Amino acid sequence: MTEIAFAFRCVLSSVLIGTTLAAAGEIPMSERRSGYDMMSADTKAMQDDDTANPASLWVLEGETLWSTKTTNNKSCADCHGDTAQSMKGIAARYPAFDTKLNKPIDLGQRINLCRAEHQNATPFAPESRELLALTAFVARQSRGSPIVQDDPKMQPAIAAGRALFEQRLGQLNLSCAQCHDDNWGKQLAGSTIPQAHPTGYPIYRLEWQSLGSLQRRLRNCLFGQRTELYAFDAPEMIALEAFLMWRARGMPMDAPGVRP
Amino acid sequence: MAKPLINVPAKAKRGEVIEIKTLISHVMETGFRHSNIGEFLPRDIITQLVCHYNGEEIFRADLFPAIAANPFITFHTVATESGMLTFEWTGDNGFSATGQANIAVVD
Amino acid sequence: MDQSRRELLTGAAAFAGGLLLVSARPADATPASMQAAIRNMLGDVEIGKGKVSLDIAPLVENGNAVPMTVAVESPMTATNYVKAIHVFNEKNPKPNVISIHLGPRAGKASISTRIRLADSQRVVAIAQMNDGSVWSDEVNVIVTLAACVEGL
């Protein structure tokens, strides 16, 4: 490489780095708003009334599954007792670091690990009705609990998630941060861009006409960026989940939410 | 089969108008769509919800594909006497689901 | 910043492109076919304006589940009551939305549900009274769809 070409490259990369840094405008803690706050009155009402919230159907199913005994005659309830006590605030702390696996896992993976280790049962597939139902039932117990992401062992995953969040991706060369840090509150087509705080997962998304996990939502965003989708439960997925929960630390859970 | 969610006040005064809310799991596939891989998705919807109050029909709804997935329907009735409200959803492909709720009516 | 904005706009255009693809589903019901469906259901009757109130937000976030309430002014007595409430739309593939059959035991002629709207359009609610008279209300609804639509 000639010296001129090298100098040109240096200038080019500093320009690129400059724009990347400029794009990473973190939202001050006091200005954070959940997606709920940006919804129409109708959609808020749909979430607030348990008898109208379609996610209640999954919560009800999850409640049944929770006390269903598997082949070794064990149910979730046999170990965990009264969910209102034992599961309060649990969903607000996931993803969490699993010392046995020596890696972070999200709530769905935790439920499946329990099935394998304690219930002698096969894991539920990602996004299966059963897994969403159990996740919704557990997450429901955390309504109002503040999101916590303070385990030092989670730091590498949070850092990796942040890097992914700020990384330009796909055919649109667009990062998560460009929408959700820099342009929240503005319109993208007919929709208001939210700040992307995962307070309500699993959510009943009107677009899906169904309940879905944060991973499914992330895959939708990746598709919008015209990039390759991470597989369900891929390390990138868990890292992004961990970063988003850290970014939303202290905000109250409102799961299972309704979102447009 | 998922249980429907039925909300009826457990107790009401005689003559009081009460609100009844129902929610049930169903895809309500319209019959106008194709899957991601281009397969035609045939219509699969709930076509009717009927409610009886102590055996007498008090409400009937005919549903079309324009009703959202996981149908939510609310209506009213006069609390006339203590007893049971029964609900029956029927639809395409032999779909059938039932639910019930008790009500105590006081003077 | 300028660059990032320009790219975001490009992105928005591409997202909007995706939107067009998704909303290109058969939108067969037309104002004429809605009128035909109404005549088919009610016969050749005179439809008065009033007594019915159709409550839908004029701007909805997603056409997949639009909350809707229809209330009809009526004493709901044995001699003066609402027999049926029908809801129609003009741009979904089919004009019928829901038909409700009720009687004096309802106490109050007011029902709610959630409906699908494939596009911005007019929605009409019609009430049939026991005396044979027919009343209606209509609302023009603008439907905006979520931008990041389902890919897989």
Nearest Cα to Cα of residue C71 among B21, B16, B75: B75
Q: How many CB atoms lie within 10 A of CB A37?
A: 12
Q: Which CATH number is associated with domain B5-106?
A: 2.60.40.10
Q: What distances in angstroms separate CA C48 from CA C127, C131, C136, one per listed residue?
A: 10, 13, 6
Q: Do C100 and B61 touch (CB under 8 A)?
A: yes
CA dihedral B33, B35, B38, B41 (to 10 degrees): -50
- Provide, as residue numbers in chain B, all residues whose Cβ is less than 8 Å from the Cβ of C90: none
Give pLDDT tens digits for C108-126. Answer: 999 999 999 999 999 999 9
β-bridge partners, C77: C80
CB C127 within 8 A of CB C52: yes
Does the structure show a pLDDT above 70 at A13? Answer: no
Query: Is residue C122 less than 8 Å (CB to CB) from chain B?
Result: no
Identity at A44, one-letter amino acid code: K
Q: Which CATH number is associated with domain A32-260?
A: 1.10.760.10
C17 burial level (CB within 10 Å; 0-12, 13-18, 19+): exposed
CA distance B101 to B12: 13
CA distance A145 to A164: 27
Q: If you measure CA to CA, which chain B residue comes closest to C71?
A: B75
Q: What is the pLDDT of residue B90?
A: 98
The pLDDT of A21-49, averaged and rounded, is 87
Write A67-76 long-range contacts (CB < 8 A, 24+): A70/A115, A70/A119, A70/A120, A70/A121, A71/A119, A71/A120, A71/A121, A72/A119, A72/A120, A72/A121, A74/A118, A74/A119, A74/A120, A75/A119, A76/A114, A76/A119, A76/A134
Flag the least confident range among A44-58, A200-214, B43-57, C7-21: C7-21
Q: Is the pTM of this model over 0.90?
A: no
Give pLDDT tens digits for B82-100. Answer: 999 999 999 999 999 999 9
Q: Do A206 and C146 touch (CB under 8 A)?
A: yes
CA distance C84 to C126: 8
Interface test with C, best of A20, A21, A38, A172 (most C CBs within 10 A): A172
**How far is A91 from chain B, CA to nearest CA, in Å?**
24
Contacts of C147 (CB under 8 A, 6+ apart): A188, A189, A190, A191, A224, C12, C15, C16, C19
* A81 confidence band (pLDDT: 50, 70, 90): confident
Q: What is the pLDDT of residue B67?
A: 98
Query: Cα A192 to chain center, whole Å?
Result: 19
H or E element: which one contains A112? helix A107-118
Tokens standing for residue A233:
């439960």
Nearest Cα to Cα of residue A98 among A117, A122, A81: A117
CA dihedral A163, A164, A165, A171 (to 10 degrees): 130
Q: Do C101 and B61 touch (CB under 8 A)?
A: yes
* A105 confidence band (pLDDT: 50, 70, 90): very high
CB A119 within 8 A of CB A65: no
Interface size A-C, in CB pairs within 8 Å, comes to 102
β-bridge partners, B89: B49, B97
Query: What's phi and psi for C92, nearest 5 deg?
Result: -70, 170
Query: What's phi and psi for B13, nearest 5 deg?
Result: -80, 145
Give pLDDT tens digits for C132-142. Answer: 999 999 999 99
Give pLDDT tens digits for B9-30. Answer: 999 999 999 999 999 999 999 9
Between A111 and C119, name the one with better pLDDT.
A111
Give residue limits of the domains in chain B. Answer: 5-106
Q: What is the pLDDT of residue A136?
A: 98
Give residue limits of the domains in chain C. Answer: 2-143
Q: Do A60 and B21 touch (CB under 8 A)?
A: no
Tokens standing for residue C105:
């035991």
- Provide, as residue numbers in chain A, all residues whose Cβ is less than 8 Å from the Cβ of B70: 54, 57, 209
Nearest Cα to Cα of residue A70 among A139, A3, A128, A124: A124
Query: Cα A72 to chain center, whole Å?
Result: 32
Coil, helix or strand for C54? strand
Going by the DSSP 8-state scheme, the letter that residue A35 receives in this structure is: G
Q: What is the pLDDT of residue C122?
A: 95
Query: Is residue B72 less than 8 Å (CB to CB) from chain C?
Result: yes
Q: Which CATH class is domain C2-143?
A: mainly beta
β-bridge partners, A105: A96
CA distance A246 to A243: 5
Q: If you measure CA to CA, which chain B residue comes closest to A130?
A: B2
Identity at C118, one-letter amino acid code: A
Query: Is residue A174 less than 8 Å (CB to CB) from chain B?
Result: no
Give pLDDT tens digits for A177-235. Answer: 999 999 999 988 888 999 999 999 999 999 999 999 999 999 999 999 999 999 999 99
Q: Do A22 and C147 touch (CB under 8 A)?
A: no
Sign of CA dihedral B79, B80, B82, B84: negative
Q: Do C4 and A19 touch (CB under 8 A)?
A: yes
Query: Is residue C136 less than 8 Å (CB to CB) from chain B?
Result: no
Q: What is the pLDDT of residue C149?
A: 59
Does the structure show a pLDDT above 60 at C4? Answer: no
* C148 confidence band (pLDDT: 50, 70, 90): low
Does the structure show a pLDDT above 50 at A101? Answer: yes
The pLDDT of A93-105, averaged and rounded, is 98
Mean pLDDT, all residues of chain B: 96
Does the structure show a pLDDT above 50 at A65? Answer: yes
Neighbours of chain C (3+ CB pairs under 8 A): A, B
Q: What is the pLDDT of residue B2?
A: 67
Instruction: Pick B66's closest partner by Cβ from C25, C96, C108.
Output: C96
Flag the least confident range among A89-103, C19-33, C96-110, C113-127: C19-33
Using N-to-C axis directions, what is the helix angle for A235-247 and A214-224, rounded to 10°?
A: 100
The pLDDT of A144-153, averaged and rounded, is 98
Strands, E, within chain C: which ranges?
47-49, 52-55, 59-60, 66-72, 82-89, 96-101, 110-115, 121-129, 134-143
